[in-house]
Amino acid sequence: MSEPLILGIESSCDETGVALVRGCELLGDSVASSVDQHVRFGGVVPEVASRAHLEAMTPTVRRALDNAGVALADVDAIAVTAGPGLAGALLVGVSAAKAYAMALDKPLYGVNHLVGHVAVDQLEHGPLPKPSIALLVSGGHTSLLLVNDLATDVVSLGDTVDDAAGEAYDKVARLLELPYPGGPPIDRAAQKGDPKSIRFPRGKWGDGTYDFSFSGLKTAVARHVEDADRRGEPLVVADIAAGFQESVVDVLTRKAVDACVEHGVSTLVISGGVAANSALRALAEQRCAEAGIELRVPRPRLCTDNGAMIAALGAEVVKAGLPPSSLSLATDTSLPVGSPLAV
């Protein structure tokens, strides 16, 4: 008997994502992004994002179904991001998922956005070894997770105590007058610079925890820019970008590999939007190879927010035989990572 067909809906921030997954196979997906509407504000405006989700939801569902070559009636279950995320954005997705579940008389599963970022790797590399370590790096989250079971047992080892890595990229890009979102332009600029020319601080470098901190790094870059301006010196944007990026990826990869070694885990998954960063991938490959650790990183399209990650986690939840969520399912903007399934 074939595995159930899961419709996944993601709307936690500024991407409306819908996908169809069967087991570990992605049949079709579609993403509508509102990022262009946020550029002039230098960050996501929750009300704008919510309105964009409302307008994009139905067309995005239709495109995903068409891409997968299936009909809405073929769907066996609905999975939706219940949290964490922006309150209004989450509400649009959960409301849509409830409507589809009621109309189709199919079970509804409210799942965790963060765990979804890990589950999506299975669509590219197959079942995730148990246990695994996951490094989640995005605009809103920077976390190290011990993944014993995607559906039932995910443990937080460490998190950022201030800015997330992606957030730091956006703020530094603004300081350097680079476009929003800041990750891709900083990555491109850094490839032309010398990462050794400016030594920026490494937050929580050797504090014995798996927590992260990027606020001090952002402040150090700001002071460097201010000092150059005060002295009337031109900014070498490429070198600043390279030094900043070197600091970020150095801390991320060192703590991730250390976590694998300490917990006796031989597989590291890096996911989230920042996982598309070339320097992060290169240094992670080097350090994992040196430590004998298998590195798994989804292709860039699967790293950013998308419906495939939610459908993939939904497939794991259904496979585990967990009970569906109630139609009174509420959103949770701060849903803890230890709760793959919301109730």
Can you give the length of the chain in residues? 343
Is 227 known as a binding-site position? no
Is 170 known as a binding-site position? yes
Is 83 known as a binding-site position? no
Is 183 known as a binding-site position? yes
Is 113 known as a binding-site position? yes
Is 42 known as a binding-site position? no
Nearest 5 degrees, angle CA 133-CA 17-CA 32? 130
Is 38 known as a binding-site position? no
Is 138 known as a binding-site position? yes
Spatial CB neighbours of 281, under 8 Å, sequence gap ≥ 6? 270, 275, 297
Peptide bond into 336 cis (omega under 30): no
Question: What token pair was written down for 338?
Answer: 């230890």
- Please give the Cα distance from 253 to 238 (Å, whole number): 22
Closest to 305 measured CA to CA, from 7, 12, 8: 12
Is 137 known as a binding-site position? yes
DSSP three-state, residue 314: helix
What single string gives the DSSP state of each residue in 210-262? S-B--HHHHHHHHHHHHHHHHHTPPP-HHHHHHHHHHHHHHHHHHHHHHHHHH
Is 136 known as a binding-site position? yes
3-state secondary structure 186-206: HHHHHCCCCCCCCCCCCCCCC
Spatial CB neighbours of 250, under 8 Å, sequence gap ≥ 6? 202, 283
DSSP three-state, residue 158: strand
Q: Which residues are annotated as a binding site?
A: 113, 117, 136-140, 170, 183, 187, 277, 305
Q: Which residues are annotated as a binding site for Fe cation?
A: 113, 117, 305
Q: Which residues are annotated as a binding site for substrate?
A: 136-140, 170, 183, 187, 277
